[in-house]
Amino acid sequence: MAGNQNPISAIDMLTSALRSNIIPNQEYLLQGSVIDSSAEVLHNRLRGLCDAAETGPETFHDHEMCFSLKASSPGGTPQQQQSFLLRVRRALDHPEYPWQLRYLGQPELGEKNQPTVLRSCIDIACTPNVVEFLSELGCRIEFEYVLKGYLFRKGRMKVTMSKIFRMGQAKSPDSLEAMTGSYLVELSLLAPSGQDAVADEIKVFAEQLRPLVHLEKIDYRRLQSYS
Amino acid sequence: MQREEKQLDAALEALLQRINDLKTSIRTLLFRLENEYASLSWPSFLDSYAVISGQMNTLLKVMKNDKTPLLRNLIVLPLVLSPDPDEELKQATEGRVVAFSHDITPDMLRTKPDPDVEQRQNQFEQRASQVPPETAQKQINALNKVVNHVLEQITHSREDWENEATVRAAAAQTCVMADTHTLIAAVGLGKNLKTLPIAAPAQPGPGRAQAGPAPGKTTSTIKTTIKAASQVHPYNR
């Protein structure tokens, strides 16, 4: 998705961050889904609520590969070994855009009254040979998928509606198979750590999308057992 | 006779009470208009109006009450007029009427509207009477037609809205929790994505990375994990 962002704003963000020594590396996140038949309604509502209503949302068509790097602990079984994931994403619709390498930390649900999930998030633009580089480092690809959808902005908030596709056997972008009959909806905001006030802003926006889509804090630990 | 007088007293007392309430509300509204016009919000303004309208209603109710004697059957008869200031009267009218004099009394006791108002009303009435009856009837018919049409449309629209609302309530299912979980588990943890053969199209890198595992076998995950781990080790010291 970063690939679809306006490169100027990315550079602006980077320079201003470097100047002030502030890195927006905390992602405030709420997630939900909307079934395909209601996706258009949500699309229209988001168009109305978000910035640049006249020009409409940006679309994206991305391919994400998820690499894992296992840090082996002595005597640990493979399951106990700690691993962390690195995500490489490229824009299929814009091959000229830089690729994106993303690290996502463990999502923290925090207190019950904390409005959003909080996770650390570091994005960096890179060149296509990042895949080779990661492989050389010993990373192995864990899974990959294709996303297709819309990106909306509302101030600092980012709303994405994305359809998730499994890569087919043929390994070509044509043989995509949708995971579910729903769009994944994510509402996120990147901010430097300690700016918890923005979480309420996100919560308020999420309330405006009810009951069309329920954006919630999703507990990843519970999803581990979910099949 | 005495009973009637008592009733009249009670009714007047009640009316006075209501009128005072009304006066206070109007005064408050005026005060707010003059002093808080910058910060006054429309809803609170409407609230003030609602209060006044409610008080008007109670006032009318009191007047129509069975226990209130018919006020129109009563006459106020001024017995003495005096040009001298009257303290009591001044107090009772909050300083508006100083003396029960010849000048003021006809105005205070008048039962007709203000001359200005009366004149304007007469003008309107005159204009209305100048219209020939056929034209008036035509206009009345036309207006009735338009109003009926509008009414019909509103009723129709309301039916539509209500139908829509019920339909929407019935088809409220716009999101499925199971789908949410499936999607997030897939994107976040790779659930249901891992077992597939993994290779990026047109990318040599990932293809090489998955050289080990046999495609499509679930048991291969653990095996490759060990393999990958032993591969990782030298880099990770």
Assess A145–B contact: CB distance below 8 Å, yes or no. Answer: yes
Q: Percent helix, strand and coil across chain B, each rounded to 5?
A: 70, 0, 30
Nearest residue of B to residue A33, measured between CA atoms: B180
The token pair at B185 is 């588990």
Q: Which of residues 115-134 of A touch B (CB under 8 A)?
A: 128-129, 131-132, 134
Residue A67 lies in a domain: yes
pLDDT digit string (tens) for chain A, length 227 residues? 444 555 567 777 777 767 776 777 889 999 999 999 889 989 988 988 888 777 878 899 999 999 988 765 555 455 545 677 899 999 999 999 999 999 988 888 888 888 899 998 999 999 999 999 999 988 888 888 999 999 999 888 999 999 999 886 655 656 778 888 899 999 999 988 777 788 888 999 999 888 788 888 888 777 766 54
User: Which chain B residue has its CA at the smallest distance from A162's CA?
Assistant: B183
Q: How far apart are CA B201 and CA B190, in angstroms?
A: 18
Residue at A76 is within a domain = no
Contact A70 B228 (CB under 8 A): yes
Separation CA A151–CA B42 (nearest Å): 37
Please give, rounded to a whole number of angstroms, the shortest distance from the CA of B174 to a CA of chain A: 6
Domains of chain B: 1-73 (1.20.58)
Number of independent structural domains in chain A: 1
Among the partner residues B175, B188, B222, nearest to A33 by beta-carbon distance: B175
For chain A, give the number of residues.
Answer: 227
Q: Per residue in A75-114, is it b (16+ CB within 10 Å) or e — as a string?
A: eeebeebebebbbbbbbbeeeebbbbbbebeebeeeeeee
In a domain, A133, yes or no: yes
Structural domain includes residue A170: yes
CA distances from B186 to A32, B59, B216 (A): 13, 69, 17
- ipTM over 0.85? The verdict is no
Domain for residue A77, yes or no?
Answer: no
Measured between CB atoms, which of B183, B190, B193 is closest to A180? B183
CATH number of the domain where residue A209 is located = 2.40.320.10
- A 155-184 residues inside an 8 A Cβ radius of B: 164, 166-167, 169, 171-173, 179-182, 184
